[in-house]
Structure 1
C-alpha cells in the first residue's frame, strides 16, 4: 500500500496564507466592482428622477385594465351606493355594457393642478344636489384615470360582443390614424344626455390631422353596424354609413381603394367642440355662484393646465369587465391608410 504524502504544517500555513491573500484580493475586486455598479445605478436613478418626479417608471397601460372595474355590491340599481347616481341604461340580463374611450393618467404635476381647481370650487357652499364630486381619486384616495368618450353607453348581446370587438380592431388597424397629442382649451360645465348629471370638463383643442374626429367616425361607424346609436354625430342609415363590411364587399368587386376610402370618409363630421375630459360631477345643475366661480378659476388657474400636452397611443374598448387595447400605429403614414383621405 502506498503511503499518503501529507503536507507538513508549514506547508499548510503557507497554503492558507496564499488562499487568504487570493480571497482578500477577490473580495477587494468584488467590492470595487459593486461600488462602481452602485455609482452607475445612482447616476441612472438621478437621471430618471429628473425625467420622472416620482423616480419610478410608468406602469404599462394594460396594468390598469386589470383593475378597470369594482366588485358588484348590489344586484339592482341602488343610487345610495353611487353618490345618488341612477343607472341611465337599464341592466338587461345577458346584455354586456360597452364603452369606447381614450384613457389618460395625469402625471403628478398635472394631478396637482387639477386638484387645485376642484378644491377652489369645493370651497363654495353648495346645496346637496350641487355637491361637487371629484373624478381624480377613488374613495380611498387612489388616483383614477380620466377619459375621452368615443361612444355612448351601449350594450351587446353575448353572441355579438366578440364579433364587434374584432370588427372595431380591424377598422382601427385600417384607419391610418397615428398616435397624436392634444392640448386643453378651457374649463366648462356640460350635462349628460338625460340631464341627470352635470360635469366639470376640460375642453380639448382640435389636434393635428383631425385625429379625434377620425377616431369618433371609426367608432360611430362600427357601433351603427350593430344597431347602436352614435356619439355626438347624427345617426346615419346603413346606405350612407359606409360600413367596414360594405367597404370589403365593394373592394371585392374591383372598386378602387381610393374610391372606397373616399366613400368611407364622405360623412366625416367635425364635432371638435364636443370632445372633453370630465374631472368632477354634480347631480344638480350648477348654481349661478358655482358658474361664476368656475369662470374666475378658469381665468386664474387654467393657464397652467393649458400648457399640458396629452399624448395618445391607443383607444380602449370595455365590454363588461374585459378591456381591449387598440393601439394607433406609428409606422403608418397619416392620411394614407386604407380608409384615409
Structure 2
C-alpha cells in the first residue's frame, strides 16, 4: 500500500471543524459581517467565513468539476501506465502535429486508464471504502490490454478536451474490473462508471471544448501512430494492479498472478 499521511494537527483541525454544527457556522458568518472577530476564530473556519474562489490560472486553466470542501476527498480508481521511451517520443510528435493545426496540447502529468468516475469521499469513509474495494478485487487475475487508435474526448462540463488512445484488446477483462469497482461505489451510494465506457488513456489536453477542431486534425495525428518508424505504434498495458487515489493518498490493489 502506497499511502501519504497528513499531519496529526491537520486531522485534529479537520475533526474539530466537523464537530461544529452548521447553524453555529451560519451565526459565525453573520456576526463576522457586523463585528471584527478575533483572528484566532477566523483562522479556524477560513472557507466557511470567507469562501475562496479557486484561481484556475494556477492549474493551467483547469477548473474543478465540483467545489472543494474541507473533509471531502476527490477519489478515483485506475490502472497505471508507466510510459516507455518510444511512447515519450511519439507523444512529442503528436503535440508537434497538433500545434501545426492550431491546437496547443498539454501532456498529461501521468498516464493511466480510468476504471471509475471521480467521486467524493468523506475522510472517515476512506478506510472502509478501500477495504471494500480490496475485497471486491481479491479474485481478479492479471492480464494485458493494448491501444492504438486515437480518439477525442471532452469532459461533461465541456471545460477540457483530451486526446486519448482507445483500448482495442482486453475490453472484456476491463469490464469485469469495472463491475467489481461499481459494487463498491454502489455500497457507498457513489456514481458508478459509464454505461458504455470507451476505455482509453488520455495523452494530452487543452482548455475548453475544441472537439471539432481536434477531430479535423485527427487523421494527421493518427498517421503519426500508424507510420511510426518501427511500424504502427501499439501501446501495451500490463494490468498487474489497480490503484485508488483519494486526496493525497494512493492505495495499491495487486491482481492475482
Q: Normalized against structure 1, the TM-score is what?
A: 0.56
Residue ranges of structure 2 left out of the alignment (5+ in a row): 5-51
Over 3 Å counting, the alpha-carbon distance change for 1:288 and 1:214 in structure 2 is closer
Q: Which residue of the partner structure matches residue 162 of structure 2?
A: 199
Query: In the TM superposition, what whole-angstrom CA distance separates every residue of 1:291-329 from its partner, at most 9, and x where no partner exists?
Result: 222212213433546433221110101122111100001
> SS at the partner of 2:217?
helix
1:89 aligns with 2:91: no
Query: In the TM superposition, what whole-angstrom CA distance separates every residue of 1:32-77 from its partner, at most 9, and x where no partner exists?
Result: xxxxxxxxxxxxxxxxxxxxxxxxxxxxx95xx77xxxxxxxx752
Q: Which has the higher strand share?
A: 2
Answer whether contact 1:220 1:231 (CA < 8 A) is retained.
yes
1:318 aligns with 2:245: yes
> SS at the partner of 2:157?
coil
1:182 aligns with 2:155: no
Shift of 1:124: 2.4
Shift of 1:161: 1.3
Query: In the TM superposition, what whole-angstrom CA distance separates every residue of 1:54-110 from its partner, at most 9, and x where no partner exists?
Result: xxxxxxx95xx77xxxxxxxx752111011111111112111221111110111122
- Root mean square deviation, CA, Å: 2.3
Q: Any runs of at least 4 consecutive aligned residues in structure 1 with deviations exceeding 6 A, and if so which?
A: none
Query: In the TM superposition, what whole-angstrom CA distance separates every residue of 1:256-309 from its partner, at most 9, and x where no partner exists?
Result: xxxxxxxxxxxxxxx3x5111111112222265542222122134335464332
**Which among 92, 98, 104 is matched to residue 121 of structure 1?**
98
Q: Distance in 2 between matches of 1:182 and 1:115?
A: 23
Q: Distance in 2 between matches of 1:115 and 1:164?
A: 38
Q: Distance in 1 between matches of 2:56 and 2:170?
A: 37
> SS at the partner of 2:175?
helix
Q: Which residue of the partner structure matches residue 150 of structure 1?
A: 115
Q: Which residue of the partner structure matches residue 236 of structure 2?
A: 309
Aligned residue-pair number: 208
Answer whether contact 2:94 2:224 (CA < 8 A) is retained.
no
Q: Which residue of the partner structure matches residue 130 of structure 2?
A: 165
Answer whether contact 1:181 1:207 (CA < 8 A) is retained.
yes
Q: Which residue of the partner structure matches residue 105 of structure 1?
A: 82
Over 3 Å counting, the alpha-carbon distance change for 1:303 and 1:316 in structure 2 is farther
1:296 aligns with 2:220: yes
> SS at the partner of 1:152?
coil
**Which among 200, 207, 211 is matched to residue 173 of structure 2?**
211
> SS at the partner of 1:183?
strand
Residue ranges of structure 1 left out of the alignment (5+ in a row): 1-60, 67-74, 136-143, 234-270, 331-341
Q: Distance in 1 between matches of 2:193 and 2:150?
A: 21
Query: In the TM superposition, what whole-angstrom CA distance separates every residue of 1:222-251 from its partner, at most 9, and x where no partner exists?
Result: 111101001103xxxxxxxxxxxxxxxxxx
Answer whether contact 1:183 1:306 (CA < 8 A) is retained.
no
> SS at the partner of 2:181?
helix
1:282 aligns with 2:213: no
